[in-house]
Structure 1
Amino acid sequence: MKIRRLTMHNFGVYAGTNTFDFVGDKPIVLIGGLNGRGKTTFLEAVLLSLYGANSFAYKESSFKSYGQYLKSFVNKSDETMSSFLELEFQMNDVDSDVYMIRRKWEDQPKKRTTEVLYVEKNGVESEFLTENWPMFIEDILPSALSNFFFFDGEKIAKLAVDNTNDQLKESIRAMLGISILDTLRGDLTKNIKRIEKTKDEEDEIAKVNVLREVKEEAENALKAIDNEIQEVEEKLANVKNKIEQKKGEYAAKGGDVIGKRDELLSKKATIEANRHQVDDRMIALASAELPLALVKDLVDKISAQAEIEHNAVINQQANVRLNELVKTFSEMGNNVSGLEAFINFVNNEADNDSVENIYDLSDVARVQSKQLSSNRISDSVATVVENFTEKSRLDSELDEIDNYLSIDINEDDLNQIYRKILKLKKEEAELSVDLESLNQKRSTANGTMIKATSEFNKKVTAYLNRVEANDDADRSLKYTEMAIQVLDRYSIRLQEKKTDALANTITACYKKLANKKNLIERIAMDPVSLDLSYLDKNDNEVDKASLSAGEEQLMVISILWALAICSKKKLPVIIDTPLSRLDSNHRKSLIQVYFPKASDQTIILSTDSEIDEKYYELMKHDVGDEFTLDYCDETKSTSIQRGYFVGGEE
């Protein structure tokens, strides 16, 4: 597993959005910052992103609820009162899947703070991972093992004092796989209690009889309700039939007409008004050009003759004008001999085109005759046809309405039938309410009957099984007790075997780090209590009090290093303030031996006094990414800068 990105928005001292992008190909990531600048916040952000409420940072805190813990991290600088974390990581080089987990929450007054979880796989939202993230992360990195990989150097030194603390013991048991045996032992113990409880139950027959009576009462109650429902349904069907009959009788006697009389009268008045409008339009057409439709052929001939006469007049006028122009041209001394042939031709043509004026229409009369011939008469005829069709339709509607209105109706009889219908409808409504109430009662009674029948059947089955299985229960109790005894012995043997391997790994790790190699020859672990003992070359126990503060811290780092190795999990290591209690030799050992080999990705959160320029140069060739936490006194917030305090990127 390798962390590729961590984004913090309004989280702790990190105001706004701040992102760590881990792109280097070397094992060490160096993050520098003075005290109070956000190093521990970085560690808690990773733990919170992965584990949420299962984070050991939350469990070790003083907050009474997870919501209060989340609220404590909200940076209020931009007044949005909203925070989120995004952690993106890749499983390993073989499994190239990339996961991104996002937790978001808000600090709202007088409201419980809750988070919204969102998970992506390879850039696509995964509903399964979003819903099952705690189970998924526990499979990758159980929370009980997380403090092997993510730890605070200031706190871990306390683990080396006296005997191994309870939290570390539980983590060791989880890593060794012994906690699974504890769970199995607990399940077997519960099984013993269940068997003993089963054997102690008495008066089973009496209990069966009581449940039988309850079941029979429930069945009888349900049957009685079913009878009532059937009776009401029959009454309701009878009433509905009567209503339909009365409605038919009401309609046959003209009831529908009575109800529609006002509507029909209003519709009749509208139709008559429309009919008058049609008559008016037809009168207007008859008083205009419509009568000319009777002599349409004559109108067409007049229009054609008028056009011929009009053209002849125009030609004669043009000929006169032409002769006048030639005469004027000649009087001006010009030779017109060349034009005489053309002029004679024009005069002859004019004589040939002359016609007798029969109608001698004016221009206005000629245009009107042309319009009448072209479309006005035919348009008038078409309009008359449309109006005749409309009038016929309106006459049909009037006849139909008059037929309705002419029906002989006895309103007294209708009123009597109508009152009967209202009475029947009231009865129908009351029966419907009764039926609904009975159906609700039946639903409740049916549920009671089903429950009583189920409990009776379970009790009978359990009783019969118990009668047949008393011997089986005794055998189960015996074998369960034997299994617990075997499990206890196996657990001890397993712990002995695995604790020896773990102790040897701790010894190897410590010898790689410590300077006093001749003082502690090996480290032993009690297979039952899991307490550690430090032994010299003569197998005499070395007093833990003789270790310096730095040696104590190296011892715990050796333990955590060994636990991580034995867990066989390829996970990143995050160390907060790792060198604060170490002298120069121990620091050099940790920098040159532990940091490069602790994991494929080791993130170190350090002050400038822990890893100064000297130690930075020692480890520089193993450093892939470098960051400095830059704190602004004015805004009281931290931002992320590329490069370490000294020698880093600018």
Structure 2
Amino acid sequence: MIFQELILQNFGSYCDRHTINLQPSSEGTRPIILIGGFNGGGKTTLMDAIRLALYGQRAQIDRRKKKQSYSEFLSQCVCSQAPADAIASIELTFQHVIRISNIDKLAEIRVQRTWNRKGKDKLQVFLDGWDDPTLTETWDERVETWLPLGLSNLFLFDGEQIKELAEQDTPPPSVTTAIRSVLGLELPDRLDHHLEILISKHQRDLAKDEDRQVLESIAQRLNQQKADLETEENRQETLEQELAATDQKLQEAQIQFEAEGGSLAESAPELDRQLQKLQTEAEHHRQNLRNLAGDLLPLTLIQPLLQSAQQQGQIELRRHQAQAAWDLIAERDQRLLDLIQTLKLNRTQTREIQAFLQQETQALAEATSTQSWLNADPESLDYLTQVINHQLPTQIHLTHTHLTHLTHLTTTIEALTLKLQAAPSPEDYDRLRSYRDQAQLRYDECLFKVQLSKRQCLNLRHDIETTKAELKRYSDQHIDQQDTDDFLRAATLAQQTLQAFRTHLTLQKLNDLESNITNCFRCLLHKSSLVHRIMVDQQTFSLTLYNTTGQPIPKQRLSAGEKQLLAIAFLWALANVSQRQLPIAIDTPLSRLDSSHRRNLIDQYFPSASHQMILLSTDTEIGREEVEELRGKGVITREYLLQHDPVHQRTTVESKYFW
């Protein structure tokens, strides 16, 4: 299968008609169609369009709500900027080999779906340009043989799907269905089910009247149990949808409760206690500040005057000391001069000593000539020095500390006060709490019903198996098989053969799948020695990684990027094992990958995973460096850029990439 062209008209944000040529190079060496666009620019809409064209109502589209009908979804998909009577349409043209008159032929098939705002779509399928009513009527069956819906998730997927698959220990149901389809387990299961019905019917036909009545009774009970199981499973699905809806309502109620201050009202008593405690602490700091203000702290206002007074007092103290020592110093100087005369020094030395003594005497006279203003005693000057140098700095430091704490406390008190003021009134709080509690109650009720339904389904499955065993046991004991041994023996042998075939087929396919996953993962992983072998569980299809010594590797040891590469390798291997030549389309393929892992994906996966690789990327995933590398390898056939106008809510398609 090769996608050739996708045409969108008034679909989503694609107003008017847009044509995208998806045809890769004919020689097969340039398989990549690169489509760039920012988030919200219309990339996912293209993927939805491909799925919708192929599968219609059965298409698995994430943005379609669970309870939303198909017609409502189609009506929602009509471009909001288009006229009221606008027609929306999707056309997907692809090539596929079909068999006509026992001859295989490469045909061109064009699938067209059109609808208006009422949401009723019209399907037309064209074969080689001609309207084909037969192909249109049997389209669901035909596309299921070419690209089954269960397998489509292996070829049409997005980064979010890869992320979910990477984070789950067991593959989701969609991938599990694809695995069973790839392994070919659906056909043996259907054959075994049909054989069981045939054997049961044949046994009832051969039974005696009284035995036939018992068999009919057991068969009716079995059919009723199967019908009950189907009804309960449908009920469980409905309940799960209701559970999802009630969960959404609960989240909305909780958001409203938070937004309107319900949590504040709940925590108001505790906040009030905190407020009182903080106010008490703040008052304690204020009292300390008042005590400091009543002590020496006000002297900081005249601190320069105090320092000047200290200096003046020191000067006056020295004057008093000089006056007291004046006579003693004069007598000492005279004795010194007399001593010099006896030492018989030369005239020059004598004059220098006399000049020095006169200079000292003059300085002392000047010191004693200053006027006294303070007349402070030494004890007062010592106390003033102690205040200036020690007590006042200590009180200033304490004041700053108390002010800092008080400022912080005041800010916190104001915030708490605002919170308490913003809390709803008791009436509003009761309303909010009642709304939230009712939503919680409805959620709990739905959860209980879902769990009860699951338990009921489990019991019904057990009853069905018990009834099947009873039916077989009664048939073996009471039915005369003398004329029908060949048929029943052949049918039983066929069942045993199917079981053996299923087991052998599963092992063979799983071995092939394990080998493919291992090779693909080691190809994508830059640490090729990390994993030696990957095994797939036969029941759950979960993956187990082993190193070169045969020891299992916990999945938690893998980084987020390595887990994503493992998920991509899983999908790549499943596509390989399916042996179907189908296009691959990936939306946002490189999220959460580092540069080395991106390099391996670009080098190994994109050019070789399929004959047609459609990549929808943002400018940060396949950036300038990556696109230049792909261009250099010559693997890109076409490049497109989705230009979204947020003002007019329209997306246009241009024949270029970001760079």
TM-score range, shorter chain: 0.5 to 0.7
What's the counterpart of residue 470 of structure 2? Answer: none
- The residue that corresponds to 2:90 in the other structure is 85
- Are residues 1:494 and 2:501 paired? no
| 2:7 maps to 1:7 | yes
Using the size of structure 1 for normalisation, the TM-score is 0.54
Aligned residues: 383
TM superposition shift of 1:192:
3.3
- Supply the distance in 2 between the matched residues of 1:100 and 1:121 (Cα, whole angstroms): 6
1:127 alignment partner, one of 129, 133, 156 = 133
In the other structure, the counterpart of 2:600 is 589
CA offset at residue 590 of structure 1?
Answer: 0.5
Structure 1 residues 511 and 203: CA distance shift in structure 2, 3 A: closer
Counterpart for residue 61 of structure 2: 57
**Candidates 559, 569, 574, aligned match of 2:580:** 569
Alpha-carbon contact 1:150-1:573 (below 8 Å) kept: yes
Cα RMSD, aligned residues only: 3.2
Q: Answer yes or no: is the 8 Å Cα contact 1:58–1:69 preserved in 2.
A: no
**Contact 1:176–1:498 under 8 Å retained in 2:** yes
1:235-270, CA deviations, whole angstroms, 9 ceiling, x for partnerless residues?
xxxxxxxxxxxxxxxxxxxxxxxxxxxxxxxxxxxx
Q: Is 1:630 aligned with 2:637?
A: no
Deviations 1:531-557 (A, max 9, x none): 221111111111112111111111111
User: Which residue is 1:191 aligned to?
Assistant: 198
Q: Tell me by how many angstroms 1:141 deviates.
A: 1.7
Gaps of 5+ in 2: 213-478
- Matching residue of 2:22: 22
Give the alignment partner of residue 541 of structure 1, picking from 552, 565, 568. Answer: 552
The aligned runs of 1:249-648 (5 Å cut-off) are 476-621=487-632, 622-644=635-657
Q: Are 1:143 and 2:149 counterparts?
A: yes
> Which residue, 20, 23, 32 being the options, matches 2:36?
32
Q: Distance in 2 between matches of 1:92 and 1:614?
A: 38
Q: 2:37 touches 2:641 (CA, 8 Å); kept in 1?
A: yes
Q: TM-score, normalised by structure 2?
A: 0.54
Letter aligned with residue 189 of structure 1: E
Q: Is 1:495–1:528's contact at 8 Å kept on the other side of the alignment? A: no
State the distance in 1 between where 2:64 and 2:190 align: 24
Once the two structures are overlaid, the 10-residue window that deviates more, 592-601 or 510-519, is 510-519
Q: CA deviation at 1:588?
A: 1.0
Measured after TM superposition, the shift of residue 501 of structure 1 is 0.9
* Structure with bigger gyration radius: 1
Q: Secondary structure at the match of 1:57?
A: coil
Partners of 1:101 and 1:573 in 2: CA distance: 18
Query: C-alpha displacement at 1:204, in angstroms?
Result: 13
Structure 1 residue 132: Cα displacement: 1.8
Distance in 2 between residues matched to 1:151 and 1:638, nearest whole Å: 22
Which secondary structure does the structure 2 equivalent of 1:518 belong to? coil
Distance in structure 2 (CA, Å) of the matches to 1:54 and 1:181: 25
Looking at structure 1, the residues matched to 206 and 611 of structure 2 have their Cα atoms a distance apart, in angstroms, of 58
- Tell me if the contact between 1:13 and 1:75 (Cα under 8 Å) persists in the aligned partners: yes
Confirm or deny: 8 A CA contact 1:90 1:97 kept in the other structure. Answer: no
Partner Cα distance (2:64, 2:509) in 1: 28
- Are the counterparts in 1 of residues 33 and 639 from structure 2 also a CA contact under 8 Å? yes
Q: How much does 1:163 deviate?
A: 2.0
**Equivalent residue number for residue 43 of structure 1:** 47
Counterparts of 1:540 and 1:175, CA distance in 2: 29
User: Deviations 1:370-398 (Å, cap 9, x if unpaired)?
Assistant: xxxxxxxxxxxxxxxxxxxxxxxxxxxxx
For 1:152, the equivalent position in structure 2 comes to 158
Residue pair 1:84, 1:103 contacting (<8 A) in 2 also = no
For residues 512 and 572 of structure 1, the distance between their equivalents in structure 2, rounded to whole angstroms, comes to 21
Is the partner of 1:596 in helix, strand or coil? coil
1:202 positional shift: 4.1
Letter of the structure 2 residue corresponding to residue 117 of structure 1 = L
Q: Aligned AA for 1:634?
A: V
1:179 aligned partner: 186
Q: Per the alignment, do residues 632 and 115 of structure 1 end up closer, same or farther by CA in structure 2, a change over 3 Å counting?
A: same
Q: Tell me: CA distance 1:57–1:12, structure 2 relative to 1, closer, same or farther (3 Å).
A: same
Asked if the contact 1:98/1:121 (under 8 Å) is kept, the reply is no
Distance 1:158 1:627, change over 3 A: same
Identify if the C-alpha distance between structure 1 residues 108 and 94 changes in structure 2 by more than 3 Å, giving closer, same or farther. closer
Gap change, CA 1:115 and 1:547, over 3 Å in 2: same
Post-superposition offset of 1:78: 2.0
| Secondary structure of the corresponding residue to residue 529 of structure 2 | coil
Q: CA 1:43 to 1:569, structure 2 compared with 1: closer, same or farther past 3 Å?
A: same
Percent identity of paired positions between Structure 1 and Structure 2 = 35
Task: Write out per-residue CA displacement over residues 122-178 of structure 1, whole angstroms, 9 at most, x where no aligned residue.
Answer: 222222212222222222222221111111122122225212333212211111211
Could you say if the C-alpha distance between residues 173 and 18 of structure 1 is closer, same or farther in structure 2, counting changes exceeding 3 Å? Answer: same
Deviation at residue 625 of structure 1 after TM alignment: 0.4
- Residue identity opposite 1:619 in structure 2: L
Unaligned runs of 5+ in 1: 206-467
Q: Is the 8 A contact 2:586 2:614 kept in 1?
A: yes
How far apart in 2 are the matches of 1:135 and 1:195? 31
Equivalent residue in structure 2 for 1:165, among 172, 176, 191: 172
- Partners of 1:106 and 1:127 in 2: how far apart? 16
Which segment is superposed worse, 36-45 or 95-104? Answer: 95-104
Q: Which moved more, 1:508-517 or 1:14-23?
A: 14-23
Which of 111, 117, 123 is the equivalent residue of 2:123?
117
CA displacement, residues 593-649 of structure 1 (integer Å, 9 cap, x when unaligned): 1000011110000001111101111111411100011001221011101110xxxx9
